Amino acid sequence: MTQDEMKQAVAQEALNYVVKDTIIGVGTGSTANFFIDSLATIKDEIKGAVASSVATADRLKSYGIKVYDLNEVDEISVYIDGADESDKNFNLIKGGGGALTREKIVAAVSKQFVCIADESKIVKTLGEFDLPVEVIPMASNYVKNKIISTIGGSPSVRKNFVTDNGNLILDIKGLKIHNPKSTEKTLDSIVGTVTNGLFANRCADIVLLGTESGVKRL
Ligand code: 5RP
């Protein structure tokens, strides 16, 4: 099975977690795109969706799925999104696609967070994947230096990339994140940081994993 086939299988399985007649949250990335393609087949069973990026909103709309602004919505039943890494406690690194801030907001509002990923995303210790941090452009150098002096690693500005919020991304290489909750909070406390790609204080509730032997629920 290819990685894309595993992503597709897990995206299809996630339809079982869609709550009928509600507004759901939809993530960003290639696995989330497969999920949107599957969601289109049951689009009449939901009221609509809140998107975690402009790209996701465009894809949902292309299927005729109603996209709500988050400020119009009081409750999201379930958030379905991919991840760059997950540990065994469902702490995640996200933001490879640069949508981490909106993803974190939608996850915070949602009653349940179902993470969909292929088996390559499971790691013992988070940090093999560069940890993204969204920063206000004028603060990027300050935040970079502060990261080095507080948690270490080698942060660098993602080239030719601006987030949907008009900000920059610092990708931090070389971390071994043994305490994701506290690292997430430490990064959040640096002035000029918008958010970081650790989803530990609001981690996933369920991880659906696409593997060679089928989809597993962790
Ligand atoms: C985007 C994300 C994605 O969920 C993450 O990058 C995984 O992407 P993919 O499903 O393409 O492997 O956090 O900001």
46-86 pLDDT tens trace: 999 999 999 999 999 999 999 999 999 999 999 999 999 99
**pLDDT, mean over the chain:** 97
Atom of ligand 1 nearest to the CA of 29: 11
Q: Which residues are catalytically annotated?
A: 103
DSSP assignment string, 38-84:
HHGGGGGGSSEEEESSHHHHHHHHHTT--EE-GGG-S-EEEEEE--S
pLDDT of residue 110: 98
Spacing, Cα 142 to ligand 1 middle (Å): 27
Q: Is 27 in the pocket of ligand 1 (CB under 6 A)?
A: yes
Q: Is 132 in the pocket of ligand 1 (CB under 6 A)?
A: no
pLDDT of residue 96: 97
Q: Give the DSSP H/E element, type plus range, for residue 216.
A: strand 214-217
Please write the tens of the pLDDT for every residue from 152-204.
999 999 999 999 999 999 999 999 999 999 999 999 999 999 999 999 999 99
**Average of per-residue pLDDT across 32-49:** 98
pTM of this prediction? 0.96
Please write the tens of the pLDDT for every residue from 87-124.
999 999 999 999 999 999 999 999 999 999 999 999 99
In 3D space, the residue among 211, 137, 202 whose CA is nearest the CA of residue 169 turns out to be 137
